[in-house]
Amino acid sequence: MTQTSENVTWLTQEAYNQLKAELEYLSGPARTEIAAKIAAAREEGDLRENGGYHAAKEEQGKQELRVRQLTQLLENAKVGEAPAADGAVAPGMIVTIAFDGDEDDTLSFLLASREYASSDIETYSPQSPLGTGVNGKKVGEDAEYELPNGKTAMVRVLKAEPYQG
């Protein structure tokens, strides 16, 4: 779970350890593996028509980008606890909202950094329009946020519970 404030990202100890392990793998064994793939593809000859070489170089570029992202995230990370279940929306919480106050038209999502997006539950960043709108609101309060078309939408916060992930 994360909570972003300015350039600080709050992480649980478990999340920090998971990201740190990913960074160590990408910086060590994964770099060695991709270098070996590139060397093997280079041995095949003409690099202009060598699909394996170009695929390996592209994979290397993506891997290095992820290393930079993780390094920056972990440099600015603070390890802390999950938010309290006090009825107020905060990053690291599962939030249930009703669109236009209609209790039949609801959405539940995790308010957190995209680093924690999973197939289990939809994730919205605290910096997204919806995330910004609901962040800090209490259960029962209405929140307004801007839609991509420039119009505003109204939602009511029905539940806000710490993510147990």
Does the residue 85 lie in any domain?
no
Residues 131 and 64 in one domain: no
In 3D space, the residue among 75, 89, 109 whose CA is nearest the CA of residue 3 turns out to be 89
Residue 110 phi/psi, 5-degree rounding, is -90, 125
Per-residue pLDDT tens over the stretch 82-102: 555 667 888 878 899 998 867
Does some domain include residue 111?
yes
Q: Are residues 16 and 48 in the same domain?
A: yes
Residue finishing a domain among 79, 112, 138: 79
Instruction: Flag whether 145 is in a domain.
Output: yes
By residue range, what is the domain housing residue 139? 93-162
Q: Which of 79, 103, 137 lies at the terminal end of a domain, its last residue?
A: 79
- pLDDT at 137 (0 to 100): 93
φ, ψ dihedrals at 128, nearest 5°: -70, 160
Q: At what angle do helices 13-27 and 51-75 cross, to 10 degrees?
A: 140
Look at residues 53, 79, 105 and tell me which one is the last residue of a structural domain: 79
Let me know whether 70 and 132 are in one domain: no
93-99 and 77-79 as β-strands: parallel, antiparallel, unpaired?
Answer: unpaired
In this structure, are 149 and 106 located in the same domain?
Answer: yes
Residues forming beta bridges with residue 111, ordered by sequence position: 93, 124
Residue 27 has a pLDDT of 93
Residues, the chain, total?
165
Q: List the pLDDT tens digit at each of the 165 positions of the chain.
A: 444 444 556 677 777 888 899 999 999 999 999 999 999 888 887 777 888 888 999 999 999 999 998 888 888 777 765 555 667 888 878 899 998 867 788 999 888 876 665 557 788 888 889 989 999 899 999 999 998 899 999 999 999 888 765
Q: Which of 133, 53, 49 is nearest to 89 (CA)?
A: 133
The answer on 158 and 103 residing in a single domain is yes
The confidence score (pLDDT) of residue 3 equals 46
